Amino acid sequence: MNKILDNFTIKEVFTLALNGKPPYPHQLETAKNLLEGRSVVLRAPCGSGKTEACYVSLLLGRDYGLPNRLIYSLPTRALVEEITERINKGISKIGLPYSVSPQHGANSKDPFFKSDIVVATIDQTIGAYCCTPLSLPAYLGNIPAGAAVSAFHCFDEAHIYDRFLGLQSMLVLIERAKALGMPFLVMSATLPDSFIRWFQNKFGEERVKVVEGCDDDVKSRRDRNVTLYWKGKFLEATDIFYCAESFEKIMVVCNTVDRAQTLYKQVFEPLQKQGFKIFLLHSRFLDEDRRNIEKNMRMSLEDEKEKTCLVTTQVCEVGLDISCDLLLTELAPPDSLIQRMGRCARGGGNGEVWVFNVEHFAPYAKNEMVKSRDYVSQKLESKRIGWREELEFVDSLLDEDFELIMNDENRRRKILKSLGDAAFKGSKKDVERNIREILNANITIHDNPGDLDFDKLLHMPWIDVDVRVLRRHLLGKAKFWQVDFVHDENGEPDFHVSIVDDIFPYEYYVVHPDFIRYTHDCGLFFGEKGECLKPLDVPSKPRRTPEYQTEPWIDHVRNCLDAFEQIKDKEIQALKLVDTLIGNHDLTKTEGIVALSIATHDLGKLNTDWQRNIGVETTDTPLAHTPIRFKGQLPPHATVSAYAMSHMINYLLGNDVYALAFELAIGHHHHTRAEHVPKYTLGWQKLYNGIIKEISEKFCLNLNENIEEEIESPTKLDTPFPDIERKKQYTIYCIVARFIRLSDQASFELNRQIT
């Protein structure tokens, strides 16, 4: 157990996090198995405290077997925000000083994954794992990668992940983690038995434990009485008017944004006259407007005196901890319907769910919708819906499909190869293509984007919209431009605006306001005249390189080693993982080899050409940094360091595969994927030999191999990037690169304090 919590039992820690309430059996069982070294698949009802089962387990075990860091992956940004707040509240109740950060495209609080708990969207997690972070330039990619390969991973709401992409990418990470002895936790309320069986067959119960929750254990579920009624007709405004006479908390779920907007406009004034507060929530809102709508809608639903009607879409299925008395929903596949039903009488009591037929099956597959319609109308009509009924619904319709998906090893091999290609190239788009079938483009509204400068255009309010929707509403009907954000020949940001005749995923488009409208309460409308949106008031980040102070090379080495002493305590489990992977079973020696890599990562700066170019002669004290910028005038130094140390590292490890991981980690401490080594001659041999001797004596390293002090012609490292399919090599590379780069970054602060 965590040292701070040594005087508490597991049950007492859960009770603190749960504000005095005793934990449920599945929460205790999850923690018990994780603390005993097993991974867990947790299937439990909505609202049964799965999140607490995860992070409390980390708090209990992070000093006793579990990794120091939790990466909690979720399918949507809204869920990331909600879970971050929830975990922060729980930790504060326990009284621990641990840090929790959200990490997604619109709120990148922790791109380097430094916090104790990082709550991220699944694409951020996969991108970090592949050294291709979606919120950082690719050249910084191995910093968060070192955290991603060595963390305790939790994948929550796994049923929401794209079954053929995101779910398979998740399984790739899980298989790799388990092969390296790393724990994981997968959680969901609506996954079929075949999903569970795959884990049991793949790993066995001794390595992965399946934990099941049930309604009887959760008071709010035990006291919940929700009845489903199949209506058979299409959902219309008159249905909402009818039920408004008997219910005061109503939720209406449509399958498309257009349907939700149409119904909202039809019911707004009539319901308002009946004393209702009416809200519309869907995916085509700006972030600030969506947050305001959610806040006001929650307050209204929680106020017993107010009548409330929410018209929404699939966005309600995850990330909305709200409750209604009556749910009117269009037909959907079983996992989506169950998530929607989970918002009815969520805290217990009575509720009704009315399911309506649909005229069009989109955005779902026809076969799924037909099977769901037949099951709901024939087997769930007028029935009380509990956890058992929900599982039977899911198993009856999804079990066979998931059986094929989970056992499709050929698809996972292709996913791993594709992720490897994305990692090798540092391609963010290729990473995202392995997570979901991304068909969204970014759009904003303006009448002349060419009049805007770079910062104003970049900070326009951009909204993600499915390209199929955009093509249907814009092609041949509206005036719009494509914007390409680029960098000029000097590396300065720039953009190009052009008129195009098609719309593609990922790209940025500006639509003329004569053809599109945005309102704060309804979001984005097509085919209606609107107004230009205005750039967000976001201060521009200064585009400049860090300000260096004059720092002798030897001082920089010592500052980096001092920084490593501080960093390793927080990353100790990652260091232990490297020790296990290289087969040392001697943590002191492993620490010494990492320290040696950190001490020599700037060895290439002792290249006489490098020092001469910054004005230092061989008789002077060599520098590591100077306030003067020498852009384009200095030869590469990181790859020189890697090349020079390669034989010594190989000698220490006795394994050229693992040695290459260390070599690339040193060579990539400025640019991930650097490979070119210029001709060089190292000077100041007495200086660096003294450092190497000092480290070898401190950590008992037997160093009988010399470094490569010069080469007469340019060459390359053995490869520009490690093979992601070599699990051990790739993991070692990411962790060591993280140690080097974090120590390097932290050393600047130490240097400032000294000077």
**pLDDT for 6 beyond 70:** no
**pLDDT for 270 beyond 80:** yes
What pLDDT band is residue 746 in, cutting at 50, 70 and 90? Answer: very high
**pLDDT for 491 beyond 80:** no
**pLDDT for 546 beyond 70:** no
Could you tell me the end-to-end alpha-carbon distance of the chain, in angstroms, rounded to an integer?
Answer: 41
What is the structure's pLDDT at 539?
A: 55
What is the structure's pLDDT at 191?
A: 86
**pLDDT for 527 beyond 60:** yes
Q: Which two tokens stand for residue 17?
A: 């996090």
**pLDDT for 617 beyond 70:** yes
**pLDDT for 544 beyond 50:** no
Per-residue pLDDT of 562-586, as tens digits, reads 999 999 988 999 999 999 999 988 9
What is the structure's pLDDT at 222?
A: 80
What is the structure's pLDDT at 653?
A: 95
**pLDDT for 632 beyond 70:** no
What pLDDT band is residue 751 in, cutting at 50, 70 and 90? Answer: low
Contact in structure between 723 and 576 (CB atoms under 8 Å): no
| Mean per-residue pLDDT, 11-24 | 89
Q: Vertex 670, ends 664 and 673: CA angle to 5°? A: 45
**pLDDT for 542 beyond 70:** no
Give me the helix-helix angle, 387-406 and 166-179, nearest 10°: 80
Q: How far apart are CA 593 and CA 657, in angstroms?
A: 15
Domains and CATH numbers, the chain: 10-217 (3.40.50.300), 223-388 (3.40.50.300), 440-526 (no CATH), 551-754 (1.10.3210.30)
Q: Is the dihedral of CA 114, 117, 123, 127 positive or negative?
A: positive
Within a 13 Å sphere around the CA of 383, how many CA atoms are in the beta-carbon half?
14
Helices (H) and strands (E) in the chain, counts: 27, 28
What pLDDT band is residue 752 in, cutting at 50, 70 and 90? Answer: low
**pLDDT for 58 beyond 70:** yes
| Mean per-residue pLDDT, 539-552 | 63
Most confident of 97-101, 103-107, 214-218, 631-635: 97-101
> How far is C-alpha 531 from the geometric centre of its chain's CA atoms?
34
Contact in structure between 148 and 129 (CB atoms under 8 Å): yes
Contact in structure between 61 and 40 (CB atoms under 8 Å): no
What is the structure's pLDDT at 488?
A: 54
| Mean per-residue pLDDT, 212-231 | 87
Per-residue pLDDT of 306-360, as tens digits, reads 999 999 999 998 767 889 999 999 999 998 999 899 899 988 899 999 999 999 9
Q: Which two tokens stand for residue 239?
A: 């249905």
What is the structure's pLDDT at 543?
A: 45
**pLDDT for 489 beyond 60:** no
Per-residue pLDDT of 280-301, as tens digits, reads 999 999 988 998 999 999 999 9
What pLDDT band is residue 538 in, cutting at 50, 70 and 90? Answer: low
What pLDDT band is residue 629 in, cutting at 50, 70 and 90? Answer: confident
* Beta strands at 463-466 and 440-445: parallel, antiparallel or unpaired: antiparallel
What pLDDT band is residue 506 in, cutting at 50, 70 and 90? Answer: confident
Residues above pLDDT 70, as percent of the chain = 95
Integer CA distances (angstroms), 314 to 90, 277, 592, 721, in order: 28, 21, 52, 40
> How far is C-alpha 80 from the geometric centre of its chain's CA atoms?
9
| Mean per-residue pLDDT, 650-664 | 96
Q: 363 preceded by cis ω (within 30°)? A: yes
Q: How far apart are CA 335 and CA 396, in angstroms?
A: 11
HEC string for 475-499: CCCCCEEEEEEEECCCCCEEEEEEC
Q: Which of 48, 49, 185 is nearest to 117 (CA)?
A: 185
Per-residue pLDDT of 413-463, as tens digits, reads 999 999 999 999 999 888 988 988 767 889 999 999 989 998 899 889 999
* Beta strands at 480-487 and 493-498: parallel, antiparallel or unpaired: antiparallel
Q: Which residues pair with 524 in a beta bridge?
A: 518
Q: Which of 302, 282, 303, 304 is nearest to 293 (CA)?
A: 282
**pLDDT for 4 beyond 70:** no
Per-residue pLDDT of 124-142, as tens digits, reads 999 999 999 988 888 999 9
**pLDDT for 77 beyond 70:** yes
**pLDDT for 202 beyond 70:** yes
The mean of the pLDDT values for the chain is: 91
Q: Which two tokens stand for residue 456?
A: 């104003």
Q: Which of 358, 357, 355 is nearest to 338 (CA)?
A: 355
What pLDDT band is residue 9 in, cutting at 50, 70 and 90? Answer: confident
Q: Which two tokens stand for residue 55?
A: 């992070």
What is the structure's pLDDT at 505?
A: 82
What is the structure's pLDDT at 547?
A: 61
